[in-house]
């Protein structure tokens, strides 16, 4: 017999309220337990008269020595606690490089260049199909050297791109924060595929005349997740160096990495990667807390490099004709899923409410003891975070995480729109996504942000930030001239 109209809806509504009730009960268990106890104790004290309270105090037999010893013990324990706890790390502000419109590469321009560079019809059709399904828009940008026919990937051109994107991002950050060169104590730069001598960090020190005793680091070869590795390194340095500022630069230099061959697994980066950079100012100075945007809560890093499949799924090599490039394995998404699973297993206990942790634990025990065929419980991370910044590595990456984490289209909107407007800017993409959320005016005090990055090796890294103040909608930044147009509809296939 068919069910009555609306019975399915009413059942789902009842189930929703049952789950909400369960979450409230578990998450506030201690409060619900202690309130009646405290109320009973208060009523008992109110029932006692002044004489009975005085006799109770005298019965404790406290003298001056006991009181002083107790006070000393309390002060000692409090001192040890405050001295041993981690120093807070604040994100004062950040800026993203905004490419000039002259660097834009519409689909038609890109494909025309490919036709003129390569005579391989199969490669041309393959790259056309990739672009049609990539999720990229018509305003993504490539550096000047890649606009030449053929591209001119010289050392001089690569340095010019590095100076362009990095110096512009730093200049904007200096203008926005009033940062002075002498105020920078720690410098961390990450760029995977371009590692010149002197290093990019030395280039920055030379340009801005930074102090001679600055602690500088240059990370290379660590893939698209290197931005969060840089944040983790800066955090560790700020834990051991009090009253310090750390400048973190995340970028990828595209100029020397254009692939000229015809191997399909090595042509993908040509279609997806675009120019970009971000400059981030971190600090552990207490006085910066009042103007800082965010506080760093957690960083969780997962490295699957011990597995040969994971190690080789993103691999720089030469093809049979001697052309160097980055090959992307067909197993990439499966390996990324495994890395994400390991990462959230560590992240979950740090951020999830107790209600979700208990459900995860009971399902895990049930699978071990009762039935191994039970599906594993996927925690609802929407209860832990208001905003998600998923590395805009490609449409498939965003789709997979949206499915696995059961996220709504709004939760992945920043990632999809960043991919559409700027392409895959590697490690800096997370900051373009955060800038999108701010430009939309969605960031509120107390909001929590989860940044998720994937990179070669294979790595999955996460960072959790807590918003310290209501972030005003910025009037500058990478989205200032186009945010009113977003979000846009991105079709599954754009016919070229």
In this predicted structure, what is the pLDDT of residue 369?
76
- Cβ atoms 416, 135 nearer than 8 A: yes
- Cβ atoms 391, 378 nearer than 8 A: no
Instruction: Read off the DSSP letter of residue 290.
Output: G
What are the Cα distances from residue 277, in Å, to 249, 306, 354, 396, 478? 7, 30, 38, 23, 11
Q: For residue range 211-265, list pLDDT tens digits in order.
A: 999 999 999 999 999 999 999 999 999 999 999 999 999 999 999 999 988 899 9
**Residue found under tokens 């990450």:** 190
- Cβ atoms 120, 262 nearer than 8 A: yes
Q: How far is residue 312's CA from residue 89's CA, in Å, rounded to a whole number?
A: 35
Closest alpha carbon to 269 in 401, 119, 423, 494: 423
Among 44-53, 54-63, 455-464, which stretch is predicted with the lowest mean pLDDT? 54-63
Q: For residue range 313-327, list pLDDT tens digits in order.
A: 999 999 999 999 999
In this predicted structure, what is the pLDDT of residue 75?
80
Q: Is the pLDDT of residue 61 over 70?
A: no
Q: What is the mean pLDDT of the chain?
A: 87
Q: Is the pLDDT of residue 58 over 90?
A: no
In this predicted structure, what is the pLDDT of residue 10?
42
Cα 202–Cα 205–Cα 207 angle in degrees, nearest 5: 110
Q: Is the pLDDT of residue 63 over 70?
A: no
Q: Is the pLDDT of residue 194 over 90?
A: yes
Decide: residue 83, CB within 10 A, 0-12 exposed, 13-18 middle, 19+ buried: exposed
In this predicted structure, what is the pLDDT of residue 77?
77
Q: How far is residue 307's CA from residue 331's CA, in Å, rounded to a whole number?
A: 13
Q: How far is residue 253's CA from residue 149's CA, in Å, rounded to a whole number?
A: 19
Residue 2's pLDDT band (cuts 50, 70, 90): very low
Decide: residue 86, CB within 10 A, 0-12 exposed, 13-18 middle, 19+ buried: exposed
Residue 207's pLDDT band (cuts 50, 70, 90): very high
Q: Is the pLDDT of residue 13 over 50?
A: no
Q: For residue range 92-132, list pLDDT tens digits in order.
A: 999 999 999 999 999 999 999 988 888 888 899 999 999 99
Query: Strands of 90-96's sheet, edge to edge?
Result: 215-219, 186-190, 245-252, 276-283, 90-96, 294-303, 459-467, 448-455, 387-390
Q: Is the pLDDT of residue 14 over 50?
A: no
What is the mean predicted confidence (pLDDT) over 361-365? 74
- Catalytic positions are 224, 303, 387, 391, 420, 424
Q: Is the pLDDT of residue 72 over 60?
A: yes
Closest alpha carbon to 325 in 123, 98, 112: 123
What is the mean predicted confidence (pLDDT) over 382-389? 94
* Token pair recorded at residue 299: 């960083």
- Cβ atoms 227, 276 nearer than 8 A: no
If one compares 154 and 367, the residue with the highest pLDDT of the two is 154
Among 192-206, 298-312, 363-377, which stretch is predicted with the lowest mean pLDDT? 363-377
In this predicted structure, what is the pLDDT of residue 7?
44
In this predicted structure, what is the pLDDT of residue 66?
66
């Amino acid at each position: 017999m068919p069910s009555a109209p609306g019975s399915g809806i009413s059942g789902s509504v009842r189930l929703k309220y049952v789950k909400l009730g369960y979450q409230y009960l578990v998450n506030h268990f201690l409060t619900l337990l202690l309130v009646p106890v405290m109320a009973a104790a208060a009523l008992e004290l109110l029932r006692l008269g002044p004489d009975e309270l005085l006799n109770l105090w005298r019965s404790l037999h406290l003298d001056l020595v006991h009181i002083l010893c107790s006070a000393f013990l309390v002060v000692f324990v409090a001192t040890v606690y405050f001295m041993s706890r981690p120093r807070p790390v604040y994100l004062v502000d950040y800026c993203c490089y905004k490419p000039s419109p002259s660097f834009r590469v519409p689909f038609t321009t890109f494909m025309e260049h490919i036709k003129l560079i390569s005579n391989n019809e199969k490669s041309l059709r393959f790259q056309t199909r990739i672009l049609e399904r990539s999720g990229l828009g018509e305003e993504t940008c490539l550096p000047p050297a890649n606009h030449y026919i053929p591209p001119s990937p010289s050392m001089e051109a690569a340095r010019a791109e590095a100076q362009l994107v990095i110096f512009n991002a730093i200049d904007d950050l200096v203008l926005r924060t009033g940062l002075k060169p002498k105020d920078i104590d720690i410098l961390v730069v990450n760029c995977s595929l371009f590692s010149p001598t002197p290093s990019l960090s030395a280039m920055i020190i030379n340009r801005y005349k930074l102090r001679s005793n600055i602690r500088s680091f240059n990370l290379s070869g660590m893939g698209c997740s290197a931005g969060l590795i840089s944040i983790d390194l800066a955090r560790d340095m700020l834990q051991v160096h009090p009253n310090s500022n750390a400048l973190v630069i995340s970028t990828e230099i595209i100029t020397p990495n254009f692939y000229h061959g015809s191997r399909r697994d090595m042509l993908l980066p040509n279609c997806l990667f675009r120019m970009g950079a971000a400059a981030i100012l971190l600090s552990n100075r207490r006085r910066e807390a009042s103007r800082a945007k965010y506080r760093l809560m957690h960083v969780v890093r997962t490295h699957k490099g011990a597995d040969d499949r994971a190690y080789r799924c993103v691999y720089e090599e030469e093809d049979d004709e001697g052309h160097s490039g980055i090959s992307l394995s067909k197993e990439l998404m499966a390996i990324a899923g495994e890395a994400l699973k390991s990462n959230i297993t560590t992240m979950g206990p740090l951020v999830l409410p107790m209600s979700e942790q208990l459900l995860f634990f009971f399902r895990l025990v049930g699978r071990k003891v009762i039935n191994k065929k039970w599906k594993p419980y996927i925690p609802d991370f929407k209860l832990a975070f208001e905003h998600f910044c998923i590395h805009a590595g490609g449409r498939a990456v965003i789709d997979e995480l949206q499915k696995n984490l059961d996220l709504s289209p709004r939760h992945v909107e920043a990632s999809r729109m960043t991919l559409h407007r700027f392409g895959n800017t590697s490690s800096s993409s997370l900051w373009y996504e955060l800038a999108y959320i701010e430009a939309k005016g969605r960031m509120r005090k107390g909001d929590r942000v989860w940044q998720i990055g994937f990179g070669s090796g294979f790595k999955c890294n996460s960072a959790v930030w807590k918003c310290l103040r209501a972030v005003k909608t910025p009037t500058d930044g990478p989205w200032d001239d186009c945010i009113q147009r977003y979000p846009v509809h991105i079709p599954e296939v754009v016919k070229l």
